[in-house]
Amino acid sequence: MAVRKGLGRGLDAMISETASKPKNTVKKESVSVKKKETESDDKKSVFTVKMTQIEPNRQQPRKQFDEDSLLELAESIKQFGVLQPLLVQKKDDYYEIIAGERRWRASKLAGIKEVPVIVKDFTDQEAVEISLIENIQRENLNPIEEAMAYKRLMEEFHLKQDTIAERVSKSRTAVTNSMRLLKLDERVQQMLIDEMLSTGHARALLAIEDKNAQHAAAVKVFDEKLSVRETEKLVKELLNPVSKKEEKTEDSAQDLIYQKLEEKIKGIIGSKVAIHRKNKDKGRIEIEYYSQEELERIVELLESIR
């Protein structure tokens, strides 16, 4: 199985660690396995197994599969077959998928009757780790699925964040930030799953503790197509609202300042002047004139200043 270099221990490393473990022997007649080949560096055996004898792992991190992507893979499988074996383990009278559920689903769509598999024995923890690593390698997990997988490794198998980070070749901060997403309101989590929000938007919304307010802000972000920076600004405004009284006081003070500036410019130019503000730093100055001669006088005055 191809593994991207540098990703934690990698799938090959984890699989080879179990090579010395005894494999369950297939005893029931209802399961028929045909040996296909035994060519690989660590002499892992590849078998062909009937599709009806394989079931997905209910505990695997990935819960959603893109239908268009599956159809594309199914078309490829129809032409070339399943090029990479599924990794499975024996469970009573069936085989449970540890890695390769997407290939299995696409094979079903393609009408394939048998698929190549590698049969190994894994602990529950190893099964979760392998599924997590495979999906992260292919960037198949949505942010919530990834966070849930980390949470399970911590709570069920008592792994520390440093250990998890090492296994998946990510920084401890990345793992921590991923798990923080589980504090989001469930409705906001679903928006993240549905790609209505990015992880950057979601992290900004975490600062809003009230769930209803958080969801309302998320909807506003989506509806108005706000950037992450704009979302951060929105959150800041929601958490630190300026009272109407403060706004009115501030506006009055600004009006007084601009009135004085208008009078000062009027005294220099000798004609009525109005300053129009757009925001704190921008605006325009309007100078009135009442005759051609007055306009020429104002122009000459401005030229003399230059």
Give how many domains the chain has, as a whole number: 3
How confident is the model over 201-210, as pLDDT tens digits? 999 999 999 9
Quick one: 260 and 194 in the same domain? Answer: no
Asked if residue 176 is part of any domain, the answer here is: no
Quick one: 25 and 86 in the same domain? Answer: yes
Token match 């004609």: residue? 271
Residue that terminates a domain, selected from 214, 239, 264:
239
Other C-beta atoms lying within 10 Å of the C-beta of residue 86: 24
Other C-beta atoms lying within 10 Å of the C-beta of residue 49: 22
C-alpha 80 chain-centroid distance:
32
Confidence of residue 215 (pLDDT cuts 50, 70, 90): very high
Asked if residue 50 is part of any domain, the answer here is: yes
Asked if residue 217 is part of any domain, the answer here is: yes
Asked if residue 118 is part of any domain, the answer here is: yes
Quick one: 35 and 115 in the same domain? Answer: yes
Asked if residue 173 is part of any domain, the answer here is: no
Quick one: 99 and 24 in the same domain? Answer: yes
Contact 167, 154 (CB under 8 A): no
How confident is the model over 124-183, as pLDDT tens digits? 777 777 777 776 666 567 899 889 888 888 887 788 889 888 888 888 999 999 999 999
Quick one: 15 and 129 in the same domain? Answer: yes
Contact 31, 5 (CB under 8 A): no
Quick one: 16 and 130 in the same domain? Answer: yes
Quick one: 197 and 290 in the same domain? Answer: no
Q: Does 31 have pLDDT greater than 60?
A: no
Q: Average pLDDT of the chain? A: 77
Name the region of 225 (left: φ>0; alpha: ψ -120 to 50; beta: rest). Answer: left
Quick one: 227 and 259 in the same domain? Answer: no
Asked if residue 171 is part of any domain, the answer here is: no
Tokens of 190: 């679903």
Beta bridge partners of 116: 48
- Lowest mean pLDDT segment, chosen from 24-28, 169-173, 221-225: 24-28
Cα-flanking dihedrals φ and ψ of residue 169, to 5°?
Answer: 55, 50
> Where residue 96 sits, what CATH number does that domain have?
3.90.1530.30
How far apart (Å, rounded) are the C-alpha atoms in residues 127 and 149?
Answer: 12
C-alpha 282 chain-centroid distance:
38
- Quote the strand ranges of 17-108, DSSP E: 33-37, 46-50, 54-55, 86-91, 94-99
Which helix (DSSP H) or strand (DSSP E) does residue 304 occupy? helix 292-305
Contact 275, 263 (CB under 8 A): no
Beta bridge partners of 94: 91
Q: By residue range, what is the domain housing residue 224?
A: 184-239
Q: Does 233 have pLDDT greater than 90?
A: yes
| Whole-prediction pTM | 0.52
Residue 306's pLDDT is 66
Q: Please give the average per-residue pLDDT across 48-73, as a whole number.
A: 77
Contact 173, 99 (CB under 8 A): no
Quick one: 209 and 266 in the same domain? Answer: no
Quick one: 275 and 215 in the same domain? Answer: no
Residue 212's pLDDT is 94
Quick one: 23 and 115 in the same domain? Answer: yes
Residue 198's pLDDT is 94
Beta bridge partners of 95: 54, 90
Quick one: 196 and 278 in the same domain? Answer: no
Asked if residue 162 is part of any domain, the answer here is: no
In sequence order, what are the residues at sequence separation of 6 or more whose Cβ sits closer than 8 angstroms to the Cβ of residue 283? 275, 276, 277
Annotated active-site positions, please? 101
Q: What angle do CA 163, 167, 168 make, to 5 degrees?
A: 120
Beta bridge partners of 283: 277
Asked if residue 168 is part of any domain, the answer here is: no
How confident is the model over 112-128, as pLDDT tens digits? 888 898 888 878 777 77
How confident is the model over 244-275, as pLDDT tens digits? 555 566 667 777 787 888 888 877 877 888 88
Handedness of CA 180, 185, 190, 192 (dihedral sign): negative
How far apart (Å, rounded) are the C-alpha atoms in residues 56 and 96?
Answer: 6
Residue 234's pLDDT is 94
